[in-house]
């Protein structure tokens, strides 16, 4: 093709897709593939410190609207949106509490299946992003007092400027400082072979990178259990009790790394995809606590609460 | 998934091979499993490697030092390995290269992963790699009749034969192959599926490769070059993640995830089609005309089907014999005397298969198909395409019956594929009725017959990912319909399902413009059927100016012309299709129509309606008289007595093809051939005029050829 012909063909193809040329940020929705238009303000309220900006960029309006956020919590222990009997029935537990990002609706079930069973790993960052608001709320309600309007004034002007700059560059630094480690629920070797990845590990990895909290592999899965979804409640609790052991090397490493912190107990965040009865969480918590030489406060952060 | 790599000296040259089960290969090469295939010596690299790497090393093995690898490998490799140590060193270098490719991008400082390091060659000389590579034949090797191993291997041999038969023409991921084989093999022979597949691969009956691999075989060194070999996607459709099954960064294909995950370390099993001995065509040489007569076709159908039938029968069916002859002519393949006297055992033919496989054009062609990848749809020149351009309601299905009959009576296999599942399901009973003696397999997502084989296969185009050169006749229905049209992935799948030189019939009432052009200039064989089976002309749309649907809804008012026409249609007892552009408009418009027409039997449906099937059903039964819908019902739905109203006909979602298709819903039956078609809209645009022109030209052609009923023959008849 001659030079002029080539130029012409380039110009012609440019004319066909002016949108793509002018606004490179217009991409498809990660779930349904529809065009995501840039949002100019939105009817969705920002919740607490959390911002949904990134999520809105990768989801179309209707997919974003279909997320059943769990932002009103009834049960302080398991993070359910309705009153729950489970937590009363459980006599003792080794973790402090669970918080989940969303309710496990049929749409959410579909999203998780796309990622977990079909293996669309490109969804992992988006699912991890969905956990951020819950993470912030959890941190907030446990340890952070929201600064009162009057209070902030007392600071020196320059100090305030620095704080403002910090919040700009490291928006999660304040929350992340409260934590010592992020870890995840492991899967068995067979499952990893078959699926090719561990969903909880991937999500934990993204969160660790984003928030700047060190990630550890604190747990080892001992045996291959049947898929949990085929079991009754009692079976689940019995089976998962002996499923995990702590990873001693990693626990020691964590203890050494964090011995500098002034807190007397280790604060660990455990990531999983779904919280159903809490037996997995319980088994993991007790496995870690058994091996730890310092007191441990274990919090569970799950993507969905069924 | 992990695999092993080894090299063997077959008497003339060193060859590198990939294996899933080294034990089977050992038996094949050193314990007489291959009968005629004997190896002198070999080295097995005893660490498993990611499957993609093992395949890459085996396929890119350049022991003669030729090809592009030569420069990159440097002088050491260019020398021809004279003895086993040197060949092993060469293998070690190849494995090292795989490790060095795998370096995370941006980390250019780290050197190559050292197995023997630069010292590889010297170490190998000193036998320093002995621990990691195993020399074959093993010490204490007992020779050809290897005792206990032999007995176990007999079962593997038996199951390999079954596996090769079952896998013919299929392209399956490891999980699918396992599902197919485990049920069939286990009760018979008791050998593992991977052993069976491995032996079948050694015999050249199947080909094993990574599901995502470099287009020209082997592992890609840059992401850009690799493709999903199942759907042909490459580039940004591939995601690279760290993989727990091979422990490395490994690419997976996002485009065909719905059909199971294809990735670099995932096995893709391609089964070679062994055509059965073809029946002689001499015995019942009926003429084309005589054979067509039994299907009861109309004159126009008869003419087109005859043309298609002659086209299909212009070449004999694909057979191994013809390929062998073809190769022999080219001097690429010679029969040996040994094979003539041959052992009766199937194993005796192993060498023939293997050699044939190595030199076969199948092999080369496969590489070419893969190299071309997704944009190759029109480039596969060995497929003989035939366009059957038949108006809506022409009776396309009946026209393909004689073609299918011709192929299956000669012992071939026919495929009828459609992009839409409802079309496949509708076709199923009709095909079974027409071919009561043939085995019909219907494939769609969740089909019960997933692993069955038959003479006639009905399938959605998505299911074609699981086939590779499997059919003697491919009929592609509704080729301009979503999702087939404009999806390179499905085109690739439809291409690779054809056997070499197979005829492919493209059916459409509104072929895409590039096909129309190719047909016009004589590049594409085609036949046109310009008339419906009942020999009445197609209803020509009337163009009526009216406000847009949006305005109607806002003002809560319907134009008088529309109301009058709808009343007339209702009064004459017709079912009414009302097409709109947007899903969101369908419900409100239905409510408005219900009020203004004072008719309760008005409903709306769209692609997002979970009750679509039921609503279409009750529309068919007449419980719903007027159905507001979108292009989702533009094809495939046949209602005997119906009128069609297209609102906002100037909208950009309705192009010429879609307007013609929607207009084609009217006047389908012989009882009511004169259905009404209206285009309502504020403007008349190019698409509408072209659609009208299209319909008129078909009617004109029908009249000229004398296909219409005598009453339309006069000049003054409706055009």
Name residue, tokens 């870890």.
A183
Structure tokens at B504: 């492919």
Please list every residue in chain B whose beta carbon sits closer than 8 Å to the beta carbon of residue A118.
257-258, 261
Please list every residue in chain B whose beta carbon sits closer than 8 Å to the beta carbon of residue A193.
244-245
pLDDT band at A219; cut points 50, 70, 90: very high
Give the angle B444-B450-B451 at the CA atoms, nearest 5°.
155
Between residues B21 and B283, the one the model is more confident about: B21
Partner-chain residue, chosen from A120, A122, A197, that has the shortest CB–CB distance to B243 = A197
At A72-129, the pLDDT tens digits run: 888 888 888 777 777 777 778 889 999 999 999 999 999 999 999 999 998 998 999 9
Say if the Cβ atoms of A196 and B239 lie within 8 Å.
no
Please state which of the ranges A2-6, A185-189, B55-59 shows the lowest mean pLDDT: A2-6
Q: Does B587 touch chain A (CB under 8 A)?
A: no
Q: Domains of chain B by range and CATH?
A: 2-147 (no CATH), 207-271 (no CATH), 288-315+360-529 (3.40.50.300), 542-712 (3.40.50.300)
Task: Answer yes or no: are the C-beta atoms of A71 and A47 closer than 8 Å.
Answer: yes
Partner-chain residue, chosen from A118, A193, A197, that has the shortest CB–CB distance to B241 = A197
Helices B320-329 & B361-372 angle (0-180, nearest 10): 100
Q: Does B105 touch chain A (CB under 8 A)?
A: no
Partner-chain residue, chosen from A120, A196, A198, that has the shortest CB–CB distance to B257 = A120
Does residue A237 have a pLDDT over 80? Answer: no
Whole-angstrom distance, CA of residue B270 vs CA of residue B363:
11
3-state secondary structure chain A: CCHHHHHHHHHHHHHHCHHHHHCCCCCECCCCCCECCCCCCCCCCCCCCCCCHHHHHHCCHHHHHCCCECCCCCCCCCCCCCCCCHHHHCCCCCCCEEEEEEECCHHHHHHHHHHHCCCCHHHHHHHHHHHHHHHHHHHHHHHCCCCCHHHHHCCCHHHHHHHHHHHHHCCCHHHHCCCCEEEECCCCHHHHHHHCCCHHHHHHHHHHHHHCCCECCCEEECCCCCCHHHCCHHHHHHHHCCCEEECHHHHHHHHHHCCCCCCCCEEEEEEEEEECCCHHHHHHHHHHHHHCCCCEEEEEEEEEEC
> Domain map of chain A by residue range?
12-66, 68-145+173-305
- Site from A33, A111, A119 to mutate, B interface, most B CB atoms within 10 angstroms: A119
Task: Answer yes or no: are the C-beta atoms of B676 and B572 closer than 8 Å.
Answer: no
Whole-angstrom distance, CA of residue B158 vs CA of residue B191:
9
Q: Give the global pTM.
A: 0.79
Q: Could you check whether the bond before residue B102 is cis, i.e. omega within 30 degrees of 0?
A: no
Task: Answer yes or no: are the C-beta atoms of B544 and B683 closer than 8 Å.
Answer: no
pLDDT band at B79; cut points 50, 70, 90: very low
**How many CB pairs lie under 8 A apart between chains A and B?**
33
pLDDT for the residue A200: 94
* Residue B129 C-alpha, separation from nearest chain A C-alpha, in angstroms: 29
Does residue A11 have a pLDDT over 70? Answer: no
Please state which of the ranges A228-242, B181-195, B249-263, B368-382 shows the lowest mean pLDDT: B368-382
In three-state secondary structure terms, B150 is: helix
Topology of domain A68-145+173-305 in CATH is Rossmann fold (3.40.50)
Q: Does A106 touch chain B (CB under 8 A)?
A: no
Structure tokens at A226: 């049947």
Does residue B370 have a pLDDT over 50? Answer: no
Task: Answer yes or no: are the C-beta atoms of B273 and B365 closer than 8 Å.
Answer: no
- Site from A117, A189, A196, A201 to mutate, B interface, most B CB atoms within 10 angstroms: A196
pLDDT for the residue B645: 95
| Stretch B664-691: mean pLDDT | 91
In whole angstroms, what separates CA B638 from the centre of its chain?
Answer: 28
At B617-667, the pLDDT tens digits run: 899 888 999 999 998 888 877 888 999 999 999 988 898 999 999 999 998
Say if the Cβ atoms of A118 and B239 lie within 8 Å.
no
Structure tokens at A20: 């793509």
Backbone region of residue A122 per phi and psi (left: phi > 0; alpha: psi in -120 to 50; beta: other values): alpha
- Dihedral sign for Cα atoms in the order B209, B210, B214, B215: positive
In three-state secondary structure terms, B200 is: helix
Name residue, tokens 């059927």.
B529
Does residue B322 have a pLDDT over 50? Answer: yes
Q: Which residues of B4-36 are buried (b: 16+ CB within 10 A; e: fewer)?
A: bbbbbbeeeebbbbbbbbbebbbbbbbbbbbbb
Say if the Cβ atoms of A196 and B263 lie within 8 Å.
yes
Q: Which residues of A231-260 are buried (b: 16+ CB within 10 A; e: fewer)?
A: beeeebbebbeebbbbbeebbebbbeebee
Say if the Cβ atoms of A197 and B244 lie within 8 Å.
yes
pLDDT for the residue B335: 34
| Stretch B223-237: mean pLDDT | 77
Q: Does A196 touch chain B (CB under 8 A)?
A: yes
Say if the Cβ atoms of B245 and A121 lie within 8 Å.
no
Structure tokens at B208: 């094993």
pLDDT for the residue A259: 66
Say if the Cβ atoms of A196 and B261 lie within 8 Å.
yes
Cα-based distances in Å from B20 to B39, B48, B197, B216, B244: 19, 9, 9, 22, 18
Please list every residue in chain B whose beta carbon sits closer than 8 Å to the beta carbon of residue A123.
none
Please list every residue in chain B whose beta carbon sits closer than 8 Å to the beta carbon of residue A119.
252, 257, 261
* Residue A119 C-alpha, separation from nearest chain B C-alpha, in angstroms: 7
Please list every residue in chain A whose beta carbon sits closer than 8 Å to the beta carbon of residue B261.
118-119, 196
| Stretch B293-304: mean pLDDT | 88
At B417-429, the pLDDT tens digits run: 998 888 898 899 9
Partner-chain residue, chosen from B244, B254, B263, that has the shortest CB–CB distance to A192 = B244
In three-state secondary structure terms, B384 is: strand
DSSP 8-state symbol, B625: S
CA of B247: which chain A residue's CA is closest? A196
pLDDT for the residue A48: 44
pLDDT for the residue A110: 93
pLDDT band at B93; cut points 50, 70, 90: confident
pLDDT band at B386; cut points 50, 70, 90: very high
DSSP 8-state symbol, B276: P
Structure tokens at B196: 């069976």
Between residues B341 and B253, the one the model is more confident about: B253
- Dihedral sign for Cα atoms in the order B144, B148, B151, B152: negative
Structure tokens at A282: 């319980």
Structure tokens at B264: 């670099």
* Residue B584 C-alpha, separation from nearest chain A C-alpha, in angstroms: 13
Task: Answer yes or no: are the C-beta atoms of A141 and A172 closer than 8 Å.
Answer: no
Please list every residue in chain A whose beta carbon sits closer than 8 Å to the beta carbon of residue B252.
119, 121, 196
* Residue A192 C-alpha, separation from nearest chain B C-alpha, in angstroms: 6
Please list every residue in chain A whose beta carbon sits closer than 8 Å to the beta carbon of residue B247.
none
pLDDT for the residue B117: 42
Please list every residue in chain A whose beta carbon sits closer than 8 Å to the beta carbon of residue B239.
121-122
| Stretch B53-75: mean pLDDT | 61
Please list every residue in chain B whose beta carbon sits closer than 8 Å to the beta carbon of residue A194.
245
Average of per-residue pLDDT values in chain A: 79
Distance, first Cα to last Cα, chain A? 61
Say if the Cβ atoms of A195 and B244 lie within 8 Å.
yes
H runs (alpha helix) in B521-640: 549-555, 560-571, 583-597, 612-621
At B238-288, the pLDDT tens digits run: 888 888 888 888 889 988 998 889 998 999 999 988 776 655 554 456 777
pLDDT for the residue B367: 47
pLDDT band at A47; cut points 50, 70, 90: very low
Does residue B216 have a pLDDT over 70? Answer: no
Phi, psi of B16 (to 5 degrees): -100, 140
Does residue B366 have a pLDDT over 70? Answer: no
Say if the Cβ atoms of B252 and A119 lie within 8 Å.
yes
| Stretch A45-73: mean pLDDT | 76
pLDDT for the residue B245: 87
| Stretch B497-523: mean pLDDT | 90
Please state which of the ranges B36-40, B357-361, B600-604 shows the lowest mean pLDDT: B357-361
At B397-442, the pLDDT tens digits run: 889 999 999 999 888 899 999 988 888 988 999 999 999 999 999 9
HSE on the CB side for B716, CA within 13 Å?
0
| Stretch A138-159: mean pLDDT | 67
| Stretch B324-331: mean pLDDT | 48
pLDDT for the residue B63: 67
Strand B677-681 relative to strand B642-646, pairing: parallel
Task: Answer yes or no: are the C-beta atoms of A184 and A244 closer than 8 Å.
Answer: no
CB atoms within 10 A of CB B429: 11
Phi, psi of B572 (to 5 degrees): -85, 0
- Dihedral sign for Cα atoms in the order A210, A216, A217, A218: negative
- E-state strands within B337-478: 384-390, 414-418, 440-443, 456-460, 473-476
Query: Counting runs of H as helices and runs of E as strands, what totals does chain B give?
Result: 25, 24
Whole-angstrom distance, CA of residue B283 vs CA of residue B557:
71
In three-state secondary structure terms, B7 is: strand
Whole-angstrom distance, CA of residue A171 vs CA of residue B642:
63
CA of A188: which chain B residue's CA is closest? B244
Average of per-residue pLDDT values in chain B: 79
On the 0-12 / 13-18 / 19+ scale of CB atoms within 10 A, B549 is buried
Please state which of the ranges A153-157, B213-217, B715-719 shows the lowest mean pLDDT: B715-719
Instruction: Give chain B's length.
Output: 719
Does residue A242 have a pLDDT over 80? Answer: no
Does residue B330 have a pLDDT over 80? Answer: no
Please list every residue in chain A whose beta carbon sits closer than 8 Å to the beta carbon of residue B242.
197
pLDDT for the residue B448: 87
Q: Please, which residues have CB within 8 angstroms of residue B367's CB and are 6 or more apart in sequence?
A: B216, B217
Does residue A140 have a pLDDT over 80? Answer: yes
pLDDT band at A178; cut points 50, 70, 90: confident
Q: Does B252 touch chain A (CB under 8 A)?
A: yes
Highest mean pLDDT among A210-224, B207-221, B334-348, B559-573: B559-573
Structure tokens at B633: 């019902």
Q: What string of DSSP letters covers B345-379?
A: SGGGGHHHHHHHHHH-HHHHHHHHHHHHGGGGTTT
């Amino acid at each position: 093709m001659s030079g002029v012909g080539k130029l012409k063909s380039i110009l012609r193809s440019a004319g066909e897709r002016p949108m793509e040329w002018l606004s490179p940020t217009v991409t498809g929705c990660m779930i349904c593939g529809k065009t995501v238009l840039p949002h100019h303000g939105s009817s969705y309220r920002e919740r607490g410190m959390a911002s949904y900006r990134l999520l809105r960029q990768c989801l179309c309006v209707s997919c974003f609207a279909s997320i059943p956020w769990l932002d009103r919590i009834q049960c302080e222990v398991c993070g359910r949106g309705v009153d729950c009997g489970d937590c009363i029935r459980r006599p003792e537990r080794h973790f402090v509490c669970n918080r989940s990002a969303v309710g496990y609706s049929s749409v959410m079930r579909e999203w998780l299946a796309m990622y977990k069973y079909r293996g669309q790993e490109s969804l992992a960052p988006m699912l991890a992003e969905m956990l951020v608001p819950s993470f912030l709320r959890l941190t907030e309600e446990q340890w952070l007092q929201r600064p009162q309007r009057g209070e902030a004034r007392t600071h020196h002007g320059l100090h305030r400027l620095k704080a403002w700059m910090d919040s700009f560059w490291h928006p999660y630094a304040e929350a992340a400082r409260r934590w010592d480690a992020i870890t995840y629920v492991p899967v068995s070797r067979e499952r990893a072979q078959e699926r090719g990845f561990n969903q909880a590990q991937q999500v934990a990895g993204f969160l660790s990178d984003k928030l700047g909290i060190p990630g550890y592999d604190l747990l080892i899965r001992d045996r291959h259990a049947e898929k949990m979804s085929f079991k009754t409640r009692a079976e689940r609790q019995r089976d998962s009790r002996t499923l995990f052991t702590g990873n001693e090397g990693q626990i020691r490493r964590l203890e050494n790394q964090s011995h500098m912190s002034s807190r007397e107990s280790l604060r660990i965040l455990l990531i999983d995809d779904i919280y159903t009865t809490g037996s997995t969480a319980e088994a993991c918590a007790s496995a870690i606590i058994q091996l730890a030489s310092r007191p441990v406060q274990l919090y569970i952060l799950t993507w969905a609460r069924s | 998934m992990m695999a092993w790599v080894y090299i063997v000296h077959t008497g003339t040259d060193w060859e590198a091979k990939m294996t899933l089960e080294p034990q089977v290969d050992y038996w094949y090469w050193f314990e007489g499993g291959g009968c005629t295939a004997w190896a002198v010596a070999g080295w097995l690299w005893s660490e498993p490697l990611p499957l993609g790497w093992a395949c890459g090393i085996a396929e890119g093995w350049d022991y003669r030092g030729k090809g592009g690898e030569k420069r990159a490998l440097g002088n050491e490799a260019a020398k021809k390995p004279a003895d086993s140590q040197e060949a092993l060193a060469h293998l070690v270098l190849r494995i090292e290269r795989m490790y060095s490719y795998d370096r995370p991008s941006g980390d250019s400082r780290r050197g190559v992963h050292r197995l023997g390091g630069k010292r590889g060659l010297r170490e190998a000389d000193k036998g320093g790699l002995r621990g990691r590579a195993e020399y074959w034949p093993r010490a204490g090797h007992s020779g050809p009749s290897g005792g206990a191993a032999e007995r176990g291997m007999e079962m593997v041999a038996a199951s390999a034969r079954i596996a090769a038969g079952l896998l013919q023409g299929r392209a399956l991921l490891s999980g699918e192959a396992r599902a197919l084989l485990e049920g069939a093999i286990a009760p018979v022979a008791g050998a593992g599926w991977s052993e069976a597949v491995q032996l079948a691969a050694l015999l050249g009956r199947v080909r094993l490769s990574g599901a995502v691999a470099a287009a020209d075989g082997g592992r890609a060194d840059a992401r850009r070059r690799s493709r999903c070999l199942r759907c042909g996607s490459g580039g940004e459709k591939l995601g690279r993640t760290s993989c727990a099954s091979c422990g490395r960064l490994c690419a997976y294909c996002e485009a065909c995830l719905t059909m199971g995950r294809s990735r670099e370390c995932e096995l893709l099993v391609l089964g070679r089609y062994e055509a059965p001995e073809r029946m002689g065509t001499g015995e019942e040489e009926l003429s084309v005309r005589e054979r067509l007569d039994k299907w009861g076709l109309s004159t126009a159908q008869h003419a087109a089907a005859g043309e298609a039938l002659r086209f299909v029968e212009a070449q004999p069916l694909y057979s191994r014999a013809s390929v062998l002859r073809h190769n022999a002519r080219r001097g690429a393949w010679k029969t040996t005397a040994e094979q003539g006297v041959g052992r009766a055992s199937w194993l005796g033919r192993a060498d023939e298969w293997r050699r044939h496989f190595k030199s076969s054009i199948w092999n080369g062609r496969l590489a070419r198909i893969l190299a071309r990848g997704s944009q190759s749809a029109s480039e596969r020149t060995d497929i003989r395409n035939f366009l059957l351009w038949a108006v809506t309601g022409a009776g396309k299905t009946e026209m393909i019956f004689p073609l299918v009959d011709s192929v299956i009576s000669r012992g071939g296999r026919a495929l009828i594929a459609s992009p839409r599942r409802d079309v496949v399901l509708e076709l199923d009973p009709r095909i079974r009725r027409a071919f009561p003696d043939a085995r019909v397999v219907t494939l769609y997502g969740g089909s019960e017959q997933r692993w069955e084989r038959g003479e006639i296969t009905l399938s959605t185009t998505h299911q074609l990912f699981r086939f590779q050169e499997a059919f003697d006749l491919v009929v592609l229905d509704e080729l301009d319909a979503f999702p087939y049209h404009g999806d390179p992935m499905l085109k690739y799948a439809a291409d690779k399902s054809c056997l070499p030189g197979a005829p492919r019939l493209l059916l459409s009432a509104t072929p895409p413009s590039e096909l129309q052009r190719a047909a016009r200039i004589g590049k594409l064989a085609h036949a046109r059927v310009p008339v419906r089976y009942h020999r009445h002309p197609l209803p020509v749309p009337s163009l009526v100016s009216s406000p847009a649907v949006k305005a109607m809804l806002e003002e809560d008012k319907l134009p008088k012309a529309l109301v009058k026409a709808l009343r007339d249609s209702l009064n004459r007892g017709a079912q009414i299709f009302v097409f709109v552009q947007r899903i969101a408009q369908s419900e409100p418009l239905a409510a408005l129509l219900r009020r203004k027409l004072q008719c309760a039997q008005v409903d709306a449906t769209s692609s997002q309606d979970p009750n679509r099937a039921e609503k279409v059903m009750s529309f068919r039964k007449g419980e719903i008289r007027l159905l507001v819908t979108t292009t989702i019902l533009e094809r495939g739905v046949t209602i005997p007595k119906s009128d069609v109203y297209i609102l906002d006909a100037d909208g950009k979602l309705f192009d010429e093809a879609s307007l013609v298709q929607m207009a084609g819903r009217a006047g389908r039956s012989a009882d009511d051939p004169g259905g009404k078609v209206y285009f309502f809209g504020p403007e008349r645009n190019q698409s509408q005029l072209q659609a009208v022109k299209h319909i008129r030209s078909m009617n004109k052609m029908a009249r000229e050829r004398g296909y219409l009923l005598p009453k339309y023959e006069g000049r003054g008849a409706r055009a």
